[in-house]
C-alpha cells in the first residue's frame, strides 16, 4: 500500500446511511468551501458556529467569511478549550445561546474544533428543539479520523467519559488537513494513536504502511491525507453496518476500555490527553491478549515499539503526576459504557488486524495483569 503522490481535488468518503448519508471531505484548504457546501445542502438556513477560544483565534474569522460568501447568516458560541467543557454547565450555556440566537429546526450548527467541541456541539444539536442538523469541521487529527465521524455525541460524567449523550449523525464533515499545521506536536501525536488503531483493528497492510511512512504522515501532504482517508473509509464502513454499536462497531473501542479508565483517573486533564490514553490502552490490550495466550508476545511488542517510535506513551507509570493503582483502574473500568449486566467487555486481539469483542473476561485476571504492569520498572 502506498500513498498517492499528489492530491489535487479533495478526497470524498461517503458514510452510507440511506436517507441520512453524508460525505466526509478531506483535503487542504477545504474551509473555504464550507459555505458553498452548506448552501447546497440547506439553502436558506442560518448557522451557529460552536467553537473554543483557541480554535476561534485561528479559524473563526475564516469560517465566518466562507459562510458570508455564500450569504449564510451566522452567530457564534465560544467555550473554554479542554475536556472540562464536556460538562452540564457548558452544555447549558451552549443550548441557551442557540435558543437565544433563534436557531430554528431548519437551521444548523457547525462544530468547529477538536473532539471536545464536536461531541459537545453534536449533543447540543441532538437536544435543542428536539434535534437540529449539524456539520462537523474537525480541527485536530483525532477528530478528523475518529470523533467527527459516526454520530456519537456526548458529555462526561464524574463517573466516566462520554456517559451522557446521544447518537446524532452530522449532515457533512469537512476535514481541512491544512489546519493540522497549527496543531501542537503533542496533540498531533495523540491523534495518531487513533490512526494506528484502524490498522490494528482490521488492516495489517495499513499498519505496516504506517510503520514505514509515519514520518511522512507527520510532515503533511499526500501521506497525511491518505492516512486520514483510509481511517475514515474504515470507520464509515463499520458505522454503516452497525450505526448504534450493537455489534461490530464496538471493535472501534480497541484500547478504549483501559484508555478511558486511565484518562478518567488523570482527571480528563493535560496530564494525559485522550490519544495518549488510547496509546496506553492499545499497548495494554495487546499485552493482556498476549498474557491470555491469544497472540504471540512479539506482536504485542511490535505495537508497543511503533507507538513508542512516534513519541506516544507506552508505559502506564509515565503518566504525569503518577499512575493510578489497579483498584482505581478497575473501579473506572466497571463504569465503562460497554459493561453489560455487570460483565466487563473488552476488545481483545488474536493478531494485528484480527480483533474480537468479548464479555468473557475475568475481572480477577484483569486486576492481576494491571498489578503486574504497574510493578514493571
User: What positions carry a catalytic annotation?
Assistant: 130, 152, 194, 235, 245, 249, 253, 256, 260, 274
The DSSP 8-state label assigned to residue 107 in this structure reads: S
User: Of 250, 323, 243, 244, which Cα lies nearest the Cα of 280?
Assistant: 323
Which residues, including other chains, have CB under 8 Å from residue 220's CB and lie 6 or more apart? Answer: 177, 180, 181
Cell numbers representing residue 369 in the block: 495483569
State the Cα–Cα distance between residues 206 and 300, nearest whole angstrom.
17
State the Cα–Cα distance between residues 310 and 93, nearest whole angstrom.
38
Count the helices and strands in the chain (H runs, E runs): 14, 11
State the Cα–Cα distance between residues 110 and 135, nearest whole angstrom.
5
Cα dist from 297 to 42, 285, 290, 350, 369, whole Å = 52, 12, 5, 11, 14
State the Cα–Cα distance between residues 117 and 111, nearest whole angstrom.
6
Pairing between β-strand 346-351 and β-strand 354-358 as defined by DSSP bridges: antiparallel
CA 332 to chain centre: 20
State the Cα–Cα distance between residues 28 and 181, nearest whole angstrom.
10
244 φ, ψ (degrees, to nearest 5): -105, 25
User: Of 98, 91, 141, which Cα lies nearest the Cα of 117?
Assistant: 91
Q: Answer for the pair 118, 150: CB distance below 8 angstroms, yes or no.
A: no
State the Cα–Cα distance between residues 145 and 278, nearest whole angstrom.
14
Cell numbers representing residue 368 in the block: 492481576
Amino acid at each position: 500500500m502506498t500513498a498517492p503522490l499528489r492530491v489535487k481535488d479533495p478526497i470524498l468518503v461517503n458514510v452510507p446511511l440511506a436517507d441520512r448519508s453524508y460525505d466526509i471531505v478531506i483535503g487542504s484548504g477545504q474551509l473555504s468551501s464550507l459555505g458553498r457546501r452548506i448552501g447546497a445542502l440547506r439553502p436558506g438556513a442560518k448557522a451557529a458556529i460552536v467553537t473554543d477560544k483557541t480554535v476561534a483565534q485561528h479559524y473563526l474569522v475564516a469560517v465566518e467569511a466562507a459562510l458570508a460568501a455564500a450569504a449564510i447568516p451566522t452567530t457564534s458560541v465560544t467555550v473554554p478549550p479542554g475536556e472540562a467543557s464536556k460538562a452540564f454547565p457548558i452544555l447549558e450555556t451552549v443550548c441557551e445561546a442557540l435558543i437565544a440566537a433563534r436557531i430554528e429546526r431548519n437551521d444548523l450548527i457547525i462544530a468547529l474544533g477538536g473532539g471536545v467541541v464536536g461531541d459537545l456541539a453534536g449533543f447540543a444539536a441532538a437536544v435543542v428543539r428536539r434535534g437540529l442538523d449539524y456539520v462537523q469541521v474537525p480541527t485536530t487529527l483525532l477528530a478528523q479520523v475518529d470523533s467527527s465521524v459516526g454520530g456519537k455525541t456526548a458529555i462526561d460524567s464524574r463517573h466516566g467519559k462520554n456517559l451522557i449523550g446521544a447518537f446524532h449523525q452530522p449532515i457533512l464533515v469537512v476535514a481541512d488537513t491544512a489546519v493540522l499545521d497549527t496543531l501542537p506536536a503533542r496533540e498531533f501525536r495523540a491523534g495518531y494513536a487513533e490512526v494506528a488503531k484502524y490498522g490494528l483493528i482490521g488492516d495489517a497492510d495499513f499498519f505496516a504502511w504506517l510503520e514505514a511512512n509515519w514520518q511522512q504522515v507527520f510532515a503533511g501532504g499526500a501521506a497525511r491525507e491518505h492516512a486520514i482517508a483510509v481511517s475514515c473509509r474504515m470507520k464509515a464502513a463499520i458505522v454503516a453496518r452497525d450505526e448504534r454499536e450493537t455489534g461490530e462497531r464496538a471493535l472501534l473501542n480497541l484500547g478504549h476500555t483501559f484508555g478511558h479508565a486511565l484518562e478518567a483517573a488523570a482527571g480528563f486533564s493535560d496530564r494525559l490527553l485522550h490519544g495518549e490514553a488510547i496509546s496506553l490502552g492499545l499497548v495494554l490490550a495487546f499485552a493482556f491478549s498476549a498474557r491470555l495466550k491469544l497472540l504471540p508476545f512479539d506482536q504485542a511488542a511490535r505495537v508497543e515499539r511503533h507507538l513508542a517510535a512516534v513519541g506516544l506513551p507506552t508505559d502506564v507509570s509515565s503518566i504525569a503526576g503518577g499512575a493510578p493503582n489497579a483498584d482505581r483502574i478497575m473501579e473506572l473500568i466497571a463504569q465503562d459504557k460497554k459493561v453489560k449486566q455487570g460483565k466487563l467487555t473488552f476488545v481483545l486481539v488474536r493478531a494485528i488486524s484480527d480483533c474480537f469483542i468479548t464479555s468473557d473476561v475475568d475481572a480477577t485476571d484483569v486486576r492481576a495483569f494491571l498489578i503486574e504492569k504497574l510493578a514493571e520498572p
